[in-house]
Structure 1
Amino acid sequence: MTFKTVLCVTEVEHSDQDVRTAADLCVEVGARLSVLIIKFARRRPIRPGVWPEHTADVVRLERRIREIDTISQDNARLEKRPKEIKTLLEANGAPCEVDTDYCDQACVGDVVRQRTLYADLTVIGPSLLNDDELGPLAIDASLVKSGKPVLVVPYGAKASLRPRRMLIGWDSRAETWRVVRAALHLLSGAEEVRVALVDQEATGNGNDAGQRMYIATYLARHNIRAAIDWLPSAGQSLTTTLTQHAIDTSADMVVMGACGQRPLRARIFGGVTRWIAEQPPLPLFVAR
């Protein structure tokens, strides 16, 4: 699939790094950038007419006043931030739209999911990855709840939607087939594609030659010539094994399926979660 709309989720206090990364990707492929700026409402806004029952309750009244001040400051920052981002993107030359949402933390997942439904790809940049509050919620909504692909770009990674060398972390799960399907446009344009099967002799059905043939044939029918690499983990994690192989083969991007287990952290973690947590300096294209 080609990417015509790319979504970038950011918090109002995040740096410009994630937006710049997503904008550069959009310019590269002629896509439109959709930016969603989120601010958590730490406390529910006060409903009109709800005040302390007793005028002597000064402490409670002062707390309410502080909450109102906080909400006012949040809204002022949320109003200012889109103008800053639009100015940034005008200089970049990326066509864009910038929206905001001020919501309770419990509603963030639904807000992000709704926006991902109208995008072809969500870019998760380093600022969002390092945000322990918004990061997991945005990743779960983008990756798990919407079913759309995600490009994870850790700090220090050089991301491109025209990668020259790509590495697929392959296994027999349906998620792997879906992410490869979502990445076919990227894979078909790459100069080199490698498929890594980690410890498949221990987990597969023993038909090594047949499995390699089926993978190679499937990709070849999409005009993708791929080399199949059989990798032993030697006791290392899947993430470590794939990262080292990606470095050894000078890969520009790794493609991996996200597991479908519950609960939340199991769904997006596992191999993919460890990758996100460890943040190796390589972009990760992932879907489930």
Structure 2
Amino acid sequence: MRFKSLLSIVEVNQTDNDLKIAIDLCSEINAHLSMMVFAVASLPPIGDYPIGTADVWVKERQSDLAALKERVNTVEMLVRDAGISASITDEYPEPAQIGHIVGRYARYADATIVGPDLLANETLKSKVIDGALFESGRPIFLIPHGTKPTLRPKRVLLAWDFAIECARAAREALDIMASAEAVHVTIVDPDTSSIANGPEPGADIAGYLAHHGIKVDVDRLPSGGEPIADVLKQHATDISADLVVMGGYGHSRTREWIFGGVTRSMIEDPSVPILMAR
């Protein structure tokens, strides 16, 4: 699909780095930028606390809201100077609400950008990714430090294992892959059973992509006992991939999203930008 609207999530104390990346991506593909700027609200005092504690909480809340307003003003100026179509909202959620609010905003964008500053924030990263990936029905675009993200990549690695999540990721990235010089469908330790990939793993998805005018190579790799995520990362380096496209796996346990092993490893230590869908 064509990406015409991107969502960027920025915490109030972050630098402008993630925002500038989002602006550049939207400028590259002439997309609308939706910005959600947020500060995390402290929980109100409960129980038999002295009155002074409540007063401190009120003052902290007022300070947070003032800082949030100032940050929104700065973001508005940066976006205006960039000359792109944009809309900016602010939120002040408690920690448990972050994922749900991100998911609500993400439903109304084609993809959510998770930039390097947010990825480096161990406290907020999982909450934002949980909401954007599992509560929106939209893909996320993970951008690690030191990379040059683009939605017009020359080389793409499509991680494939025949699952529904992989099929969804491939569908979301069709237009991106169609403009690439090469797309490497990459299968680690391919399953040749009839209920999985069949006798020629990768042939079916390669045919599907070829019908969309996509230049496809199928790479079948042995893991050699190494973690699948490590094999994918190394192969992305070997083929000079600008982007990895993959499915995101997880399940809900007591209302908290638990990532599957490969998904978790790729999120924790991405080596190249990743477009992930579920």
TM-score class, shorter-chain normalisation, is over 0.9
Identity of aligned residues (%): 35
1:172 Cα offset (Å): 1.6
* Structure-to-structure mapping, 1:257-272, within 5 angstroms: 257-263=247-253, 264=256, 266-267=258-259, 269-272=260-263
Is the counterpart of residue 34 in structure 1 residue 34 in structure 2?
Answer: yes
- Equivalent residues of 2:192, 2:200 under 8 A apart: no
Alpha-carbon RMSD across the aligned residues, in angstroms, is 2.1
The 3-state SS of whatever aligns with 1:88 is helix
Secondary structure at the residue paired with 1:40? coil
Higher helix share: 1
Conserved in 1, the CA contact under 8 Å of 2:192 and 2:198? no
Question: Post-superposition, which runs of at least 4 consecutive aligned residues in structure 1 deviate over 4 A?
Answer: 201-209
Aligned-pair distance for 1:208?
A: 5.8
5+ long unaligned stretches in structure 2: none
| Structure 1 residue 109, shift from structure 2 partner | 1.8
Distance 2:75 2:188 in 1: 42
1:98 aligns with 2:88: yes
Residue 118, structure 1, aligned to residue 108, structure 2: yes
Secondary structure at 2:92's aligned position in 1?
strand
2:261 matches 1:273: no
| Aligned counterparts, 1:136-147, within 5 A | 136-147=126-137
Residue 80 (structure 1) aligned with residue 83 (structure 2) = no
Q: How does 1:4-23 map to 2 (within 5 A)?
A: 4-23=4-23
Q: Figure out how many residues of one structure are paired with residues of the other and give that number.
A: 276
Which residue matches 1:55? none
Go from structure 1 to structure 2 and tell me whether the alpha carbon gap of 1:70 and 1:243 turns closer, same or farther (over 3 Å shift). same
Distance change (3 Å), C-alpha of 1:207 and 1:170: closer
Contact 2:185 2:218 in 1 (8 A): yes
| TM-score relative to the length of structure 2 | 0.93
Q: TM-score, normalised by structure 1?
A: 0.90
| Local SS of the residue matching 2:7 | strand
1:133 CA displacement: 2.4
- 1:26 to partner: Cα distance: 0.1
1:239 aligns with 2:229: yes
CA deviation digits over 1:183-203, x for unaligned, max 9? 001011101111111011488
Counterparts of 1:102-251 in structure 2, within 5 Å, are: 102-201=92-191, 209-251=199-241
In the aligned structure 2, how far is the partner of 1:21 from the partner of 1:159?
8
